[in-house]
Each structure stands twice: as structure tokens, then as C-alpha cells.
């Protein structure tokens, strides 16, 4: 990840939402070159928004994703019956 870094990522940013659009919960908004930690969605949708302004081009970003078994992460026995 290498995006222009500004306060509050107002210039260039990568925003990740937990859902199928921007009405989902914001999991994080990122810029600069510091890698965010792992992000986990609550369901099978993640919405990613990349914004860039006309000033100062930097590198780029890439991302990897993988599916997790939600039941393996959930020790609540009542949730397993759903
Ligand atoms: Ca820029």
C-alpha cells in the first residue's frame, strides 16, 4: 500500500465497508504506506472505495482476501443452530 498520506486521508484513501455498499459499517479508512491489520466482515460482502485526487501520484494498493468459516470463529452454541 502506497497512497498519498494526508490528515484524515482527505486526499487519497482506501475505505473498506462491511457490507455491499457504503451503508455498511466502515471497517477502516486508510492512506499512506502503513499496512492495516486484518479486517473481517460480518458477512460475505465487503465494499472497497478508492479515492484519489489530481495531486501527487504515489504507488498503488493491492489486497488479498480469504473466506473464513464463521462457525469456527463463533463459540456461541445458539448461533450454530441458525
Ligand atoms: Ca493524490
Give all domains of the chain, ordered by start, each with its CATH number: 1-82 (2.60.120.290)
pLDDT in tens, 20-64: 999 999 999 999 999 999 999 999 999 999 999 999 988 899 999
Ligand 1 centroid to Cα of residue 61, in Å, is 13
Ligand 1 centroid to Cα of residue 26, in Å, is 21
Bridge partners of residue 28, in order along the sequence: 16
| pLDDT reported for residue 82 | 45
Ligand 1 centroid to Cα of residue 12, in Å, is 5
CA 51, CA 8: separation in Å to the nearest integer? 13
Ligand 1 centroid to Cα of residue 39, in Å, is 24
Ligand 1 centroid to Cα of residue 20, in Å, is 26
Ligand 1 centroid to Cα of residue 40, in Å, is 27
Span of 1-5, 35-39, 63-67, 74-78 with lowest mean pLDDT? 74-78
Amino acid at each position: 500500500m502506497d497512497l498519498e498520506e494526508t490528515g484524515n486521508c482527505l486526499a487519497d484513501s482506501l475505505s473498506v465497508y462491511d457490507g455491499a455498499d457504503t451503508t455498511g459499517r466502515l471497517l477502516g479508512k486508510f492512506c499512506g504506506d502503513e499496512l492495516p491489520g486484518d479486517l473481517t466482515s460480518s458477512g460475505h460482502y465487503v465494499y472497497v472505495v478508492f479515492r484519489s485526487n489530481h495531486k501527487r501520484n504515489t504507488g498503488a494498493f493491492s489486497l488479498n482476501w480469504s473466506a473464513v468459516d464463521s462457525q469456527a470463529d463463533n463459540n456461541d452454541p445458539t448461533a450454530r443452530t441458525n
